[in-house]
Amino acid sequence: MPVDLVGALVGWRVSLVGDAGIRLVRRSSDERALRQAITLAIDKVVKQADPSSSELLYLGLRECFSGPPQLGLRILEMLNVN
């Protein structure tokens, strides 16, 4: 039985898209409201910015607020563990 690599890759990508769609639908109402508030805030900030940099600012802010916050704690460095 030959392995269809292209079919396997397409199936894998489709499953990823399906999983992302399910997570989008299953979000809580609080999370949806928070995302809407963030979108409104980003839009207001971009409208107040210099028009020559507004597109880059928009993309940067969307990237910053697209996922959970990264705290950047480096526990091992703080404890000096090698």
Residues 4-31 have pLDDT tens digits of 677 777 777 888 777 777 666 666 777 7
Greater model confidence, 22 or 59? 59
Q: Which two tokens stand for residue 41?
A: 């805030």
Residues with Cβ within 8 Å of 54's Cβ and at least 6 positions away in sequence, in order, are: 46, 47
Share of the chain above pLDDT 70, in %: 70
